[in-house]
Structure 1
Amino acid sequence: MGVGLPNSSKHASDGSVNPSLYRFPQVPLEVERYPTPPEGLQLEQVHVYVRHGERTPVGIRLNKPPASIPEHWEMCKTARRFRSTVTSMAGLSTDGVIDEILYHKKMVERPDGTVTEGECLLGELTDLGRQTTFNFGDSLRRLYVQKLGFLPDILETKGQIYLRSTNMPRTMESLQQVVHGLYPTEKCHPASLPALLVRNGKDENLIGNTYACKRLEILQVSFAKAAAEAYNRTLEHLDKKVSKYLDGNPIRVDGKPRASGVLDTIRAAVAHGIKVPSEFEDKSIIDAIERAVVSEWFADKTEEVRRLGMGLLLDDLSRKMQQKAAKGEKDPLKILVHSTHDTAIAGLCSTLDVFDEKWPAFTASITFELFKKVSPESQASQTQTLLSRLGNKATPEHYVRMRYQNKNMFLPMCAEEGNHLEGSPEFCTLSAFRDRVKELIPRDWDTECSPAGRKS
């Protein structure tokens, strides 16, 4: 049995979403309600971290009666046709090779050999996910191009935009959609089209890299075990309600399937308008499962886990902001867009002590905005020239504002007087921000990532 896109049966007669249906949290990037900074602050650089769009579950769960959530999802009908360049040795060109265009179509084959048009792979970005990530990119355009005038209407200059994704099809395709929304084809000069960057697995820092850091893997396993011991009892009262959907098994952090897997399937189904058992439409049930799963994945707030999980990513962010602050207009980079996963979004929030203890939604995003403090006088070219002639080398003050799901984050590390803009605690001084990040950078990655970790 397959399933298509959500249909109107999930909506009321007036087109609104049925209020009795539990909805996976959707938080589109707001443009009109974007809080402009206080007078005297000038936006210099924006770092965006966005979770990929809606996808299919990463595993097959709850597909048997009475849950009957479809095993096969026919929600990948777009972007199934590809064209690629191949090298042919026939009809050699002057440089010895000739490129030809090969057209092909990707389809999923089931074990019995059957093929269905538009069927998705497990964990694949769906048509809905492609649309929402495009919408996210369009919102970035409406905000930073049209509303603020921070980015140019047409991308003609190289070096103004940076794009990177983890090496996963769903994040790479999400990034492509975001870019197309931010700079549609007609708004991007072919010569200035930026590359979509991907790192080798051992060098990846857009997620907590357990592949490259054995110590981080060991710590995460230990925290998962601790979460099972702490939260399995809190799930016992749900057994009578949900075990019938799990082949009679109790729902547990370390159960079969794991509570995180159940939550993954339910949320993916709900996001696509697929009917789920009424018990999983009960917010109190979902909240209980979510608390246990969030604890399993993100309760590890030790300094060691923060350093090994998000330290390298924050180091990248901090260094690029410092470079922009030091070079000013000589550094053309204005916006950096990173396509990543829920674990990175929650990991960043947790590391900076602003996590809301909720599993990040599809296309959940974090922005770090770098501002420069300028006075009305310094904005005038005449004054700039005069200061230059007088040899004024004073360094402007710079501030960082973190926003998550359209909300300003008040970073505890910037709470003390002198560590933020007076009267606006959400604007952390770049120096205070960098001081904290320096504490999170592993001094010796190989040693700290060894199974035994760093010797204190």
Structure 2
Amino acid sequence: MDIQSDTQPPSNTTGLQLLQVHAYFRHGDRSPTPLGEAKARAKLWETRLQEVPLILQKREYFPQKFPWGLLTVKGAEQSKALGSWLREFYLPEFCGPEYDIRNLQSPEKPVIQLRSTNFLRTHLTAWFVLEGLLGSPEAAASVPISCRDEVDENLYHNDDHCPRLKKQWYTAWRRACESVGADGKKWHSHFKKMQDAMTQALEISLDKPGFLLPMDQPGFPWVKAVDTLECGRFHGDMLPPGISDDQITEVRRLLARDYALTFQDREILQLAVGRLVRELVDAMSECGTIPTLFLYSGHDATIMPLSVALGVPWADWPAYTSCICVELWQSGGGNYFVRVLYDGKGVALPLSREDGALKKEILTLDEFREIANWSMISEAEYSCKCEDMSGLVEGSRSSAV
């Protein structure tokens, strides 16, 4: 059915009925991807990994070299904690204060739907979120984890399967990395001593730096180097001499700012998460009578572009199990409203992309559609655009704001 929402939203959700929650979350703590020193510490990271339940061992995942990029025991604990929060915050709203958790997933009235990217760490995160949400491994096993083929995945910016996005996004990333501050310098130059310390501690050779993310190039692999140190820091490992906690935090914030900037281009944002945003709007526009909790187990590359699509870019690099919840509510008069939470806190969304635009924490569904319309794209439009390389010039911008 086509939902209409033409009234002004209330100041809070008192008296409203919760119909849907779409919870998009990053995976839990993981081991680093190998870079320099990390390769020599394989045995240590093996001891920190989470055991994989038998039911998940039977699936095939995106290939990764053991023990790198896998969920840790700490990551499983974080995921359970997120699931417990979802249970306490949403299930009473969905099912009433006296709900029986054993009745949530009946074939006739499933309350929970879950999708994950095809990585072992995101499937494990999803599993332990379900454990925290439903209270036991047996209950977690009652919820199927669906997954798209890699070529069709839209829970991250899938540039490996979209040539136009690959070209546009890499150009935008280089531009962000080359930008200078008020002092006429790139921010990297202020952390030269830190870079030297990481080069020595991680045994990085710029001629042969080991595994790199595409966003690590060109130049020093800031993203992967900082990530490697932060993974160890979370487990109590000492930082190398010449590097402080404050420096790690500040560099991660600056990297997050650069990362968010790459999605300010409208075409890049559409190709990155436009299909995911359309799925969200379509689901809210066709909601039925059964309250539904939609769970999406993804990555920082899910959280960051989605936050830009909502008009409030994440200010810091998304932490492990960071979560964006998009809620759909209904009033007694039959009108529909939307609220967005970042890590459990309500966020006021700007109603347009203009500077100084009015912000609201609870919006009508029509207002939310207007926000989403800037970034959402259909599957057909996506397919056509991805293969169209016309009009692309090195260093050029498309429809940027």
TM class, shorter-length: 0.7 to 0.9
Q: Distance in 2 between matches of 1:366 and 1:124?
A: 22
- Please, what is the CA RMSD of the aligned residues? 3.5
Count the aligned residue pairs.
Answer: 354
Q: 1:162 to 1:253 in 2, by over 3 A?
A: closer
Structure 2 equivalent of residue 173 of structure 1? 124
Check whether the contact 2:25–2:303 (CA below 8 A) recurs between aligned residues: yes
Picking from 298, 301, 317, the partner of 2:260 is 298
Check whether the contact 1:218–1:451 (CA below 8 A) recurs between aligned residues: no
Picking from 359, 381, 384, the partner of 1:447 is 384
Determine whether 1:365 maps to 2:328: no
Determine whether 1:161 maps to 2:119: no
Check whether the contact 1:228–1:254 (CA below 8 A) recurs between aligned residues: no
Q: 1:253 to 1:164 in 2, by over 3 A?
A: closer
Q: Distance in 1 between matches of 2:133 and 2:122?
A: 16
Check whether the contact 2:338–2:368 (CA below 8 A) recurs between aligned residues: yes
TM-score, normalised with respect to structure 2: 0.77
Q: Distance in 2 between matches of 1:293 and 1:277?
A: 20
Q: Which secondary structure state, in structure 1, belongs to the residue aligned with residue 337 of structure 2?
A: strand
Q: Distance in 2 between matches of 1:239 and 1:438?
A: 42
Check whether the contact 2:324–2:341 (CA below 8 A) recurs between aligned residues: yes
Q: 1:258 to 1:85 in 2, by over 3 A?
A: closer
Q: 1:189 to 1:137 in 2, by over 3 A?
A: closer
Q: Distance in 2 between matches of 1:71 and 1:142?
A: 38
TM-score, normalised with respect to structure 1: 0.69
Q: 1:229 to 1:152 in 2, by over 3 A?
A: same
Q: 1:203 to 1:85 in 2, by over 3 A?
A: closer
Q: Distance in 2 between matches of 1:75 and 1:259?
A: 27
Picking from 127, 147, 167, the partner of 1:218 is 167
Determine whether 1:207 maps to 2:182: no
Structure 2 equivalent of residue 58 of structure 1? 33
Match runs of 1:1-400 below 5 Å: 37-63=12-38, 72-76=44-48, 78-80=50-52, 82=54, 121-146=67-92, 149=95, 152-154=100-102, 155-158=104-107, 159-185=110-136, 188=139, 193-230=142-179, 233-247=186-200, 254=217, 257-277=220-240, 279-283=242-246, 285-300=247-262, 301-324=264-287, 327=288, 329=289, 332-374=290-332, 396-400=334-338
Check whether the contact 2:198–2:225 (CA below 8 A) recurs between aligned residues: no
Shift of 1:429: 0.9
Q: 1:281 to 1:442 in 2, by over 3 A?
A: same
Q: Distance in 2 between matches of 1:255 and 1:454?
A: 24
Structure 1 equivalent of residue 364 of structure 2? 429
Shift of 1:146: 4.9
Picking from 404, 407, 418, the partner of 2:345 is 407
**Which stretch of the first structure deviates more once superposed, 256-265 or 433-442?**
433-442
Q: Distance in 1 between matches of 2:353 and 2:219?
A: 44
Amino acid at match of 1:447: C
The higher-RCO structure (CA 8 Å, 6+ apart) is 2
**Structure 1 unpaired stretches of 5+:** 1-35, 87-107, 110-119, 376-395
Q: Distance in 2 between matches of 1:276 and 1:70?
A: 18
Q: Distance in 2 between matches of 1:186 and 1:235?
A: 46
Residue by residue over 1:229-285, the C-alpha shift from the partner in whole angstroms, topping out at 9 and shown as x without a partner, is 2257322232234403304879996466510011211221122222112543241x2
Check whether the contact 2:130–2:140 (CA below 8 A) recurs between aligned residues: no
Residue by residue over 1:349-378, the C-alpha shift from the partner in whole angstroms, topping out at 9 and shown as x without a partner, is 112221132100000001001110116xxx
Check whether the contact 2:117–2:298 (CA below 8 A) recurs between aligned residues: yes
Structure 2 equivalent of residue 14 of structure 1? none
Check whether the contact 1:47–1:369 (CA below 8 A) recurs between aligned residues: yes
Q: 1:278 to 1:370 in 2, by over 3 A?
A: farther
Check whether the contact 1:307–1:440 (CA below 8 A) recurs between aligned residues: yes
**What fraction of aligned residue pairs are identical, expressed as a percent?**
26
**Which stretch of the first structure deviates more once superposed, 55-64 or 363-372?**
55-64
Q: Which secondary structure state, in structure 1, belongs to the residue aligned with residue 123 of structure 2?
A: helix
Q: Distance in 1 between matches of 2:239 and 2:348?
A: 37
* Greater Rg by CA: 1
Amino acid at match of 2:252: E
Q: Which secondary structure state, in structure 1, belongs to the residue aligned with residue 45 of structure 2?
A: coil
Q: Distance in 1 between matches of 2:255 and 2:166?
A: 17
Q: 1:76 to 1:253 in 2, by over 3 A?
A: closer
Q: Distance in 1 between matches of 2:105 and 2:55?
A: 26
